[in-house]
Structure 1
Amino acid sequence: MSASFQSQGGSLKPGRKAWVKIAAVFCLLIGLAAGAPAALAQDELKIAAVVNDDVITQLDVFARLRAAMLSARLQDTPENRQNLLPNVMRSLIDDHLKAQEAKAQGVTVGDGEVNARIAGLAGRNNMSREDFESMLASNGILVSALADQIRADIAWSRLVQRKLRATIRITDAEINESLARAKSARGKNEYRLSQIFQAIDSPKDAPTVQQATQRLLDQLQSGADFASLAQEFSQDTSAANGGDIGWIRADEADPAVAAELARLGGGPEVKGKLIGPVQGTGGYYLVRIEDVRQATDSAVAPGSVHLIRLLWPLAPNASEKEVQSAQEQADGFAGKAAHSCQEFQTLAEDAASARFDDLGRVPVDDMPPEIRNMVMTQQVGEPSNAIRGDGGVAIFVVCDRGDTNGEVSRVAIADRLAAERLETLARGYLSDLRRAAYIDIRL
């Protein structure tokens, strides 16, 4: 992950580069990973970096480096360690920045959620939780380090959804424009893409970020697993899906990537091709073409969503005091930690003065404008802000936006447009945190 700092007497000032100091740790970590237990015991708790008020130890760096190589199926060689180390340092620093901001904004992640993720990783590796932890330990990876990384990822995703998604508005004009582009692209190529994105926080950082992206390409060409490197190092939300961004047309990709797609064309021979490093909007891209097909002109339906609601009823002639009381209760409840319709329904049992309703699947055309915009952009499973309507004050949760009968819906288009805009906002958010951070690399 990229940041921009410069060494000044051992400390790093916001917005300057200091990644050259990372080179000083190469020999140390190479020695540790090569099996020097005495050195590890002596150096593991030494401070590798300070991120605002947090400390990254040399053991943290070593564990993350080992985890990255294991996940990417890379041999533990001095060359591979040296190539991955700068990216690992950036990843660790960004994790601390994300966790710090989430904590400052009151976002919490329960141990149960983290344990469920670890259990899922074990299952995908066809192991029990105990065997998975033993495998990690035998490879020099602490489960606590993995848990910290997972917690930071969940917290950041939750913070971005809560803080930024509610600010997004997708208009009918934008949906119509997207539909027009899709119609004009009938018969043209669509690509299933995976990507790794490395952000540039300042123009002067571009060479450093290009080098970091090139190192990842070198690892891919040496046989590293793309999805694992994307999950570890990509600085966008597709990292959670191993870099998979689904099917898109060239006009929907970053212009720099679109130009490379146009150059390659759309024959079967492009499957598996790597593109990059390509400097696009905000950073460098590594892209792999997973598949290609021709776009079709599908029928478009208005769409519907499955909604549940918690309503604080108000009479048409309710007093200002009654309205204020309902609004305050709803505002307080909207901040509760629920991340699915089932969780929200359980929490709703404690709202004695409110009424819970499962509204089922509701056509978007039947909704008032303020509700329609909310359901098209609200994160699935997350409670909306309190909304005042004719019947009272309500909180809504979108359970799903699944299209029916194979139709493309305006809801799905709005959801995609909102996700793209959210990605841009999230990148800017993290970039701002990097620029404002105090970071001291002590290696």
Structure 2
Amino acid sequence: MPRHATPPAPSDSVLKVSTLMFTRFLLHVFDARARRWAGGLAICALASLPVAASTKAADRPLGGIAAIVNEQLISIRDVTARLGLMRLDNQAATSARGQRRMAQRALTELIEEEIKLQEAKRLAMKVSSTDLTKAWQTIAQNNQLSVEDLRRKMADQNVDPATLTRRLRAEILWSRAVARKYLRLVQITDTEIDEAVALDEAARNEPRDRLSEIVLRRDRAKSLENLRRRAEELQRLLRDGASFADLARQYSEAPSAKAGGAVGWIPRGRLPALLETAVADLKIGEVSASLETPLGIQLLRLDDRQTDAAVNPLNDRVTLAQVFVPVSADTETAQATAEATAQRVTAVATSCADLRRLAKEINSPASPDLGTMAIGDLAPKLRQQVLPLAVNTPTAPITLPNGFMVLMVCAREAAAPPKPDRERIRARLREERLSAYARQYLIDLRQVATVDRRL
């Protein structure tokens, strides 16, 4: 095995960026998964839990070995524990073949983690209990659970916490190793940011589709007929109500498989003609027919569609006026009288000046001027009334616990597209470039590693 020169120790700025990369990775991966996990995310705070140390092959009986990575053992028990974590992640296999594929995927993940952990050990890198504690506190908060609740949920699902500890420890160390080795090579110029801003603005203002995919790759070991049969089976499972994301994780052979097949937003006209035509005919939530391409067979699902500029109308700013009509007593007569007064305001008012005059006439106890605000800042009940409202048009009486309200939009300012955040774009480009370096880094380590895969 070739010897590696130890890189120089990272500066404080390198460590800060690498920690930020890891935090973003955790929030992205686990927040997205939390929304999919039925019954909530069952993860516990692992800072206080022991991590199973790697065990040399010579120290364990051969019968329980799933793989050996540079003399470090991965046991069948390790694979079983990781499968438990995958089941928690809604990745339960639906067939015997699917279970075998999931077991192989679990083993591959463990092998890659072992390679990452060994590289971190070579670089003398460590993860502190504080790092893990902070990460798990953040995850718990983002899932609206306490750390104790997360621990209980994992125990309820019989998921071994050590396998998740191992995964997190490996990713923390790996992000730091990548930053130490490559961060100094990643310099994002102002010209690159300008180009990214132009692309983002073009994509924002043109029609686009948010897609997910399942890709069955064609190779020498798989005939096209076999791929067609598998695609037909997937279509049948989808018709029977199976989750597209679960099937993508189990069967798709594209990089998007780990994200449940999610590809993201694709501007119109950027796909090959066959796929573009298929997507154009889909409604949101529908899945395409099986599409044969040079890559193999693809199934596409339309998750969302944008047909015009991506400006959120809830960001529109409105200047509002009101008339509040209180109910004078807790009787049906008082209720009816107040409602009739509010209905008269709606029928008579044609401007905000009218509304202010009527508020004074009925001696409304509330100020008629509510000021200027974003529609999204209003209470949901009021937001629904104001969103479609034209200027100088009153709402119908809105029932409140203690009376009735009539609202009117005096002025409306349409929201402008958000200004590009150049520092956020710089960070995104840096992370994309570091991710590419990280993939190649892992490939290089994998090529020189001695891996005896037995499962």
Report the structure number with the largest CA radius of gyration: 2
TM-score, length-scaled by structure 1: 0.48
TM-score, length-scaled by structure 2: 0.47
